[in-house]
Structure 1
Amino acid sequence: MRDSRDSSAGNESTVSAVDPLAGELLRSVVEVARAIFGAEASSVFLLDEAAHELVFQAVSGRGEAFLVGRRFPADSGIAGWVVTSGEPMIVADLSRNTAFDRDFAQSTEFVPDALMAAPLIHGDRVLGVLEVLDPAPQARSSLGELDLLALFARQAATALRMADDRRDRDTARAAAPGSSAELADGPRSRALHLLEDLRSVLQSPV
């Protein structure tokens, strides 16, 4: 399997597949997750099944200016473990974790001490991973915090499902132009409500 850690070439299929509104929702997910957990950074990786790679799709905090679109092998590091297992994970001390890919972390210009990760699941498919890097100390060993992270991951998976709905709507609109107004309201309305829910979480007392 080729290692494309240092290349963003060829990522158009995954990146372009994300509807702009879904992209906004994913950015809201990482921003809210970073704020809620008091973290240095938060990221959503999407799984490119054909290339067997994970792609940075949304980033908040450290690396947000240059990591979006970057790829790495889907079986690499803790994100790879989460994709394979479909289970969330908290690591309070990465120096003691053999799954952590320190070389790749160094290549991103940020090596965290701790992280939390949860899979983005839709039906029986793992679509990607939500990671929170260097969360506040009180968030690093609590099962309740892990449940909260899983909730954010479900929100991200919902955003991706809405992107699929939107593409289905566009296909249906092309086949039946007279029904476009009715089709336009459903997924977009649900997406906007989800975005408002995320903003409400951010504004609520922690």
Structure 2
Amino acid sequence: MSVVDLVKPNDFFRDKVGDAVDGLNIDLDADLEFYLVNLLCEFIQPQNLILGDIDLLDTPLALIYKEALESSPQMQLKVYKKLGDISLYIAGYFQASLSRKTVGPGYYISMGSSAYQKMSSIMQRRYNELHFTEMYSNLSREFKTLVSVVTRIAGDLPIENHNLLKIYEKWCDTQSTTLKTFLENEGLSPDSVSFKKIQ
């Protein structure tokens, strides 16, 4: 029986977010805590890292942003949300590896914050929806703080060998440069592995 069988993801990440917020000694709005818990739960499932034909882990943020600009009004909200979410996830969870890349955490923070601000504007202008207008505005304003929370959580989650194997298998399927960089930072060179994934 695995940990996932014993603990519900919502409960697990609610505790982790609460511990991180306490450990960082910050005051985070309850709506933002709730949003962050749901985001972390959502990205447990690989299918949630796909939006239409876009693999969010392996597509430059600028191309996702371009997709949002060129989308229908209804689709814009979905694309901006995914752009904000994936920027927050990567900037927090992979911050150490981003610091060694040409495009650093600041780029992800800027793009994610901008995406949430766009959502806030759409919610206000198109739907006159005050609650979500304020929530996405807060997500934009508190983006750096949220990245710090995710970074703290990521540092508290040891990577076990079976998790590295899952990441390697995902890289085999997608050839994602982000996943390759992550594996290399863990001391593995996926290109040099001589065996193929068992089907």
Q: Same fold (TM over 0.5)?
A: no
Q: Shorter-normalised TM-score: what interval? A: under 0.3
Higher percent of residues as strand: 1
Higher relative contact order (CA 8 A, sep 6+): 1
Write 1 or 2 for the structure with the bigger share of helix: 2
TM-score (norm 1): 0.26
